[in-house]
Structure 1
Amino acid sequence: MQGQNVPVCAAIDIGSNTLRLVVARCPCPDGVLDILETDEAIVRIGESVNATGAISSEKQAHALSVLQRFKALATKHSAQTILAIATEAIRKASNRDDFLTVIQQEAGIEVHCIDGDMEATLTFYGATYELSKSAQPPAKVSVMDMGGGSTELVIAKDMQISWHTSLPIGSGVIHDRYLTADPPTEADRASARIFLHTYLTGLQLQQFPPILFATGGSANTLLILAQRAFGLDTSHAILTHEDLVRCEGLLWALSAEEIAQRYQLDTKRARIITAGVLILLSLLETFDLKEVHISSYGIREGVALAYARNGAQWLAEARQQAHNVSQATSHVNTNVEIVTYHEEFITSGRRLFLTRAETMLGWRDVVLKHEDSEAVHKMRVASRRLRAVMDAYQSICQRRPFKAVYAQIKDIADALGIARDTDVMIDTLRQQLEQASASEQAGIRWLIDGLSEYRMSHQQLLEKRLLKLDKDALLRSLKACLAEEGEKHGKG
């Protein structure tokens, strides 16, 4: 494209996992982008927000360094303006304002913290950029932006948004909550799948378009992994359900470092996509979709397109567009509305709470006998599966009873986890003892004796916790989390 007189803008997306930059010529009014440069860095701001509620000083310093690099790239291309937005992790960080002020002062970049409606709107602009240039775009299409802190879902008819929502099931959130082992365990996968299936089923979408576009770092990295690992045609940016199942198998067989080395991926990204593949598979399976189209464009290109179309008024226009869509979809039946507080959803929640709790409690007496180490493992898995279901229903639970009983179950799970991990270490050392030389055996026995003594003392603490566990009281507490049918569904 010719055009030294065409304005150049830099668009920055400060996401929960990744910071991204695109520098582009932004002509008006046709809205065609001439992309000059892109860059990104995995910072994982959401990791510290999920852990403490705030952006840590280390994450702040890392983000600031990346943004200063982005600004230098924008300057290199003579960008007249830098447009920066922040999404889910920054939205909910307790020190958000301080973080944005530091960026303004140290990097000279004004960051707009946008809400979920605007995030969905700008993502749709970007993800459908190539599609919008088609002579005959599909009548109905859906867009999924899988971020670190949230997943945006958008449904459009005739390339106009008819419905959208923001779901708290980002790849970073799922990873940090369920998939901390590397590679994740089968129990981890089961817990994450239970949560995702329960949550997505609870949305009760009546219809879902058969054509789905996914954007975001995890979706694009999964495409690259599948292409490099399974020899997929690089000219087709499509992942079938079978492709995703194969990716899942690979990610559960190898560590993130091995995945990164074999397939030339960033190690941090390789770790996060374990959650990404579960989210995509859950979405396809819940809504009976066969494949997903992967878009390399996303919210940063959406920001650049908004600027190309509206100039300095891009932010106000995007806000107005998001507001218009929100107002329209709240009054019009599009056959895709979410019925979050539907009575059947609450009833199923109460049933799942109680059945999962019964399964967990069924192992208590066996654990107390301290005769079967696998009983500890099975009770721990059952407690994690109960928490996964509770996570999925948290948004409609009564806050106080939920918080109290969730903490109680977590305390039991943590105690079981310490016991199980110690048992595994002792078993591993006993296996090593059989193969060790005479000079090594004394040291290994010393470790086994020390761990065994610790395990016995911990068994006493575990038994105290389990003996205090009142089955009937726990079940009553779980019932109290979800309002009775016919009551007002407050969160009080």
Structure 2
Amino acid sequence: MDKITTIDLGSNSFRVLIYDCKNHKIIDEYNEVVGMADGLNTSGLISKEAQERVIKALRKSIEKLKYSPKDAICVTTAAMRMAKNNKEVLSYFKKEIGVEFKIIDGEEEARLTLLAVKYALKREKISSSNFVLLDIGGGSTEIIVNKDDSFYSKSFNFGIVTLTQKYLSKIDLLKQLDEYKIEINNFLASLNFDLNTYTFVATAGTPTTIAAVKLGQDFFHYDKDKVNGTIVNLDDLKDCLKIFENSDEDTITKLVGKGRVEFIEVGIYIYRAIFEVLQKNESIVLDDGLREGVAVNYCLQNSLRQ
């Protein structure tokens, strides 16, 4: 099969990709914020409202991209891993739409995201066999260290949605992030690598949003071809925080899109925390993530079978 459809149902975002296996190119895509982790911290459940948002997004994406949901390769991550009602929710999605999601663990999520990023680095002609990859999600944050042909990953149980809804004050948020920084540092120290020589690469909505703002783009004029490979530094994070702290909701919505306004500042604080742990001043931003990794993985496995 030369063409494949993949779906990544994250804790906040819903992303569909139509991918050309033969030429390793994106044919079409669909993205929407569904806020699946909304309220998960307190209830431990995927709410009925969140389920209906996912169903609506699935229907809209099928109408726009003209794909068969039963043939799509669909994965879901942190929010579904945590939810006590995940089996019922996934059964509901299958009954209503015919789509079958697989819950993947943090290690598989890291492997597939890393695969996408490796392809993206080659595409952008960025040479780096040794790098640290940050993937900030809605319900979890993945840190992946790639060393030549090996990788070491850890999924941390915090993300932009869960932290935003758990910590209402900035002081409490930053205190918690300091604790997570110790946890992350312990993981990195256990690898015993000299990370000073490693490139810092970041993917997902927060890094790409900061890169887009730096380039003068907004949500409605987002050009991922320009965002890919953009260098983001600590000053860019400061500039974005100033913009978001001093702008009204309409202005921020125009920059980051509906459904992301309340989470963007927390995302920046998470991003900044990783900068500090790694003692880096800049990172390379890529738009490619899990859904691209699922597609590339399928294409590679399918070519081996032929």
Fold-level match, TM-score > 0.5?
yes
Measure, in 2, the Cα distance between the counterparts of 1:313 and 1:93.
36
Tell me, what secondary structure is at the counterpart of 1:162? strand
1:88 is aligned to 2:69: no
Deviations 1:174-220 (A, max 9, x none): 211224xxxxxxxx333222211221123322243531211112221
Tell me, what secondary structure is at the counterpart of 2:66? helix
Distance 1:99 1:139, change over 3 A: same
**AA in 2 matched with 1:267:** K
Distance 1:170 1:79, change over 3 A: closer
Q: For residue 440 of structure 1, what is the aligned residue in structure 2? A: none
Q: For residue 21 of structure 1, what is the aligned residue in structure 2? A: 16
Q: Which one of 102, 112, 127 corresponds to residue 137 of structure 1? A: 127
Measure, in 1, the Cα distance between the counterparts of 2:303 and 2:49.
33
1:8 is aligned to 2:7: no
Measure, in 2, the Cα distance between the counterparts of 1:219 and 1:239.
8
Q: For residue 346 of structure 1, what is the aligned residue in structure 2? A: none
User: Which runs of structure 2 are paired with 1:24-423 in the superposition (5 Å)?
Assistant: 24-27=19-22, 32-75=23-66, 81-133=71-123, 137-158=127-148, 160-179=149-168, 188-203=169-184, 204=186, 205-206=188-189, 207=193, 208=195, 210-228=198-216, 234=226, 237-261=230-254, 263=255, 265-311=256-302
Superposition RMSD in Å: 2.5
Structure 1 residue 19: deviation in Å? 0.5
The structure with the largest helix share of the pair is: 1
Tell me, what secondary structure is at the counterpart of 2:280? coil
Distance 1:7 1:199, change over 3 A: same
Tell me, what secondary structure is at the counterpart of 1:138? coil
Measure, in 1, the Cα distance between the counterparts of 2:145 and 2:54.
32
Structure 1 residue 270: deviation in Å? 2.6
Structure 1 residue 49: deviation in Å? 1.5
Measure, in 2, the Cα distance between the counterparts of 1:259 and 1:75.
32
Bigger-Rg structure (1/2): 1
Measure, in 1, the Cα distance between the counterparts of 2:125 and 2:162.
39
Deviations 1:335-376 (A, max 9, x none): xxxxxxxxxxxxxxxxxxxxxxxxxxxxxxxxxxxxxxxxxx
Distance 1:224 1:195, change over 3 A: same
Contact 1:141 1:211 in 2 (8 A): yes
Contact 2:40 2:79 in 1 (8 A): yes
Measure, in 2, the Cα distance between the counterparts of 1:136 and 1:282.
25
Contact 1:141 1:155 in 2 (8 A): yes
Measure, in 2, the Cα distance between the counterparts of 1:146 and 1:214.
8
The structure with the largest strand share of the pair is: 2
Measure, in 2, the Cα distance between the counterparts of 1:135 and 1:292.
16
Deviations 1:52-98 (A, max 9, x none): 1101111111101111222334435x799311000000111111001
Contact 2:234 2:282 in 1 (8 A): yes
Structure 1 residue 111: deviation in Å? 0.6
Q: Which has the higher contact order (CA 8 A, sep 6+)?
A: 2
Contact 1:127 1:214 in 2 (8 A): no
Structure 1 residue 11: deviation in Å? 0.6
- How many pairs align? 290
Contact 1:17 1:172 in 2 (8 A): yes
Structure 1 residue 312: deviation in Å? 9.7
Structure 1 residue 253: deviation in Å? 2.2
**AA in 1 matched with 2:27:** L
Tell me, what secondary structure is at the counterpart of 2:74? strand
Structure 2 unaligned spans of 5+: 219-225
Measure, in 1, the Cα distance between the counterparts of 2:34 and 2:125.
39
Structure 1 residue 136: deviation in Å? 7.5
Contact 1:144 1:213 in 2 (8 A): yes
Tell me, what secondary structure is at the counterpart of 1:169? coil
Measure, in 2, the Cα distance between the counterparts of 1:142 and 1:304.
22
Structure 1 residue 147: deviation in Å? 0.5
Contact 1:175 1:275 in 2 (8 A): yes
Measure, in 2, the Cα distance between the counterparts of 1:35 and 1:79.
18
Q: Sequence identity, in percent?
A: 25
TM-score normalised per structure 2:
0.87
**AA in 2 matched with 1:7:** D
Contact 2:38 2:50 in 1 (8 A): no
Q: For residue 371 of structure 1, what is the aligned residue in structure 2? A: none
Distance 1:26 1:96, change over 3 A: same
